[in-house]
Amino acid sequence: MLRRLEVAAALVWITLAGYFLFPGHTYLYSDTQIYLPILERYWDGTVFTRELLAQRPHVAFTIYDEVALALRRLTGWDFHAVLVLQQLLFRALGTLGVFLMATSLGLAQRPALLVAAIFSLGATITGPAVLTVEYEPVPRGFAVPLLLLAVGFVAQGRDLAAGLAASLAFLYHAPTTIPFWVVYFCLALWPTRPAIMTRHILGLAPLLVAVLSMLLLSRIQPGVTEPQPFFGKIEPALEQLQRMRAPYNWIGMWDPYWYRHYVFLWGVALAAFWRLRKDASEDLKFFLVGMPLWGILTLPLSYVLLDRMKWVLIPQIQPARAVLFVTAFAVILGAAAGLKAAAERRLWEAAVWLLIAFAVPAHPRVLQLLLPNLGSPLIRRRLAVVVLLAAVASLAAWSHARLKQWRSAAFLAALLLPFPLLPFVAQVRNYPQLDSPELDELARWARHNTPKEAVFLFPDAGRELYPGIFRAKSLRAVYVDWKAGGQINFLPKLGLEWWRRWQQTLPGGPNALASGRYRNLGIDYLVVRGAAVPAGCPVVFTNQRFTACRL
């Protein structure tokens, strides 16, 4: 009982420390800017009647909206609260999944918890622009931890539970689950004893239910507004816009460094697996090898299917984002190999594995950190913190096997220190501060003093993200903003309309400060930074940062 309480307490700490300290959390900084107007319009049909994003939702093939709406009805909380509730729950389940994997690799409970803690520090997957631990409560951020839980259940021989977890992930964000199901199908079809094969096939039953449920929900739910041919080809004009607005999908546009980076991490994952292979179950081996392999193969696969063949489906599936599993398993397996080596007194080997595992969350360019530029004080600072954390984790694993009087103190130090040291000492900043009291004041004013159908424009915002924060907090439409253009991946017609609006209101364009130009577009209010409003546009709100005028 005490051991279970210790594990539960550690999992709670990892979840809360990861949320509040590092890697942290955000809201309305990224894709929640897109989802919130859709959810709010589903909740109240009188808002966002003139908002482009809400008029053309893209949530028909996810239960993200249904669950959020149901929880709001059940609890009476707003969407922020019910989404964060899910975010904390799924982060905890993902941490549990990593813990189950680590125990299945022969680690004792405390070292296994340290593996889970190291993974929960997250990683920035540059190139495809994704995260191993999402900061925002978005569908992918719910699906990834559910897949880790599913792999943990597979490691424990609980295929039905694994199928349930991965099927729930499928319902939240189907493209993210492709690597898991590819590997699981290989596992289910692999020749083995009849009893084991039956258990594997049983794990597929929840997926069948999930697929049928998704097809049914997609038929009865509003939101499928742009039917597209499955094998359609991206037209040159659309390709040009997608390359401009969403270059992360186009492998040929990446910095060549990232190819070396992910091949290196894939090599780390393979080497660590080879180190741990004798302790892994046969089922777990499929996933430890298969998911990173699928992740690395998606790079040439995406290049062929999108950059060369221009398949219209690829920007929606975004297969290259599966490379996050290369990084994820490099960290999980590297940390497990390092802690096992430390317990066996192979301290130099432990240092190598753990330096890599801690380097991943400390710096997006791992090779640059491990082979530092001595002229960069920030790199030296981060490397020093990584070395310290690797030494503390090694000491914890070594003392767990030998020094009973020090094992608890060493374990607590290794469990507690990474979360404050990385942000406050290593100065790792995962995201900028986008919202502000002045923006909140503007949103409150708009929500209480303007008509629900009012349309706003921020003509001098450029590519900044604060108009999307205003949209969600004020429940007022924004004529066009940079963030909304990302929908070009899923809804090409919406993307083309976004581009038309962007060009119409481009900062510095012809007659940029002529109020009649904006009025003719159906815009009701302009919001500028400072006080330079167009002539004939009376000021109706002002604070230290923003001035709003009514057209």
- Residue 172 in any domain: the answer is yes
pLDDT, tens only, 269-287: 999 999 999 999 999 999 9
pLDDT, tens only, 98-153: 999 999 999 999 999 999 999 999 999 999 999 999 999 999 999 999 999 999 99
Asked if residue 457 and residue 529 are part of one domain, the reply reads yes
pLDDT, tens only, 6-23: 999 999 999 999 999 999
Q: Determine the structural domain holding residue 208 and report its residue range.
A: 2-30+61-424
Q: Residue 237: pLDDT above 60?
A: yes
Which pLDDT value is given to residue 67?
97
Q: Residue 511: pLDDT above 50?
A: no
Please tell me the least confidently modeled range out of 166-175, 414-423, 497-506: 497-506
Using pLDDT thresholds of 50, 70 and 90, give the confidence band for residue 227: low
Q: Residue 513: pLDDT above 60?
A: no
DSSP secondary-structure letter at 529?
A: E
Task: Tell the burial category of 450 from Cβ atoms under 10 Å away from its Cβ (0-12, 13-18, 19+).
Answer: buried
pLDDT, tens only, 443-472: 999 999 999 999 999 999 999 999 999 999
Contact of 134 with 94, CB cutoff 8 Å = no
Asked if residue 445 and residue 406 are part of one domain, the reply reads no
Please tell me the least confidently modeled range out of 32-36, 41-45, 308-312, 505-509: 505-509
pLDDT, tens only, 396-415: 999 876 766 678 899 999 99
SS3 191: coil
Share of the chain above pLDDT 90, in %: 81
Asked if residue 375 and residue 513 are part of one domain, the reply reads no
Residue with tokens 């929640």: 32
- Domain final position from 389, 424, 459: 424
- Domain final position from 396, 424, 452: 424
- Residue 44 in any domain: the answer is no
Which pLDDT value is given to residue 497?
94
- Residue 323 in any domain: the answer is yes
Pairing of strands 455-457, 525-529: parallel
Which pLDDT value is given to residue 510?
42
Which pLDDT value is given to residue 534?
82
Asked if residue 314 and residue 242 are part of one domain, the reply reads yes
Calpha distance 490→253 (Å, rounded): 20
β-strand partners of 131: 124
Using pLDDT thresholds of 50, 70 and 90, give the confidence band for residue 509: very low
Please tell me the least confidently modeled range out of 84-98, 147-161, 431-445, 498-512: 498-512
Asked if residue 93 and residue 15 are part of one domain, the reply reads yes
Q: Measuring CA to CA, how many Å separate 12 from each of 5, 89, 113, 263, 516?
A: 10, 10, 11, 34, 56
- Residue 36 in any domain: the answer is no
CA-based torsion, 233, 182, 361, 365: positive or negative? negative
Buried b (16+ CB within 10 A) or exposed e, 300-316: ebbbebbbeebbbebbb
Which pLDDT value is given to residue 223?
53
Pick the more confident residue, 97 or 490: 97
Count the domains in the chain: 2
- Domain final position from 424, 456, 489: 424
Give a three-class secondary structure readout of 356-419. Answer: HHHHHHHCCCHHHHHCCCCCCHHHHHHHHHHHHHHHHHHHHHHHHHHCHHHHHHHHHHHHHCHH
Structural tokens at position 453: 């159908």
CA-based torsion, 149, 150, 155, 157: positive or negative? positive
- Residue 43 in any domain: the answer is no
- Residue 430 in any domain: the answer is no
Asked if residue 110 and residue 20 are part of one domain, the reply reads yes
Calpha distance 23→189 (Å, rounded): 38
Asked if residue 14 and residue 138 are part of one domain, the reply reads yes
Mean pLDDT score of the chain: 93
Which pLDDT value is given to residue 225?
59
Which pLDDT value is given to residue 286?
97
Which pLDDT value is given to residue 374?
61
Contact of 488 with 245, CB cutoff 8 Å = yes
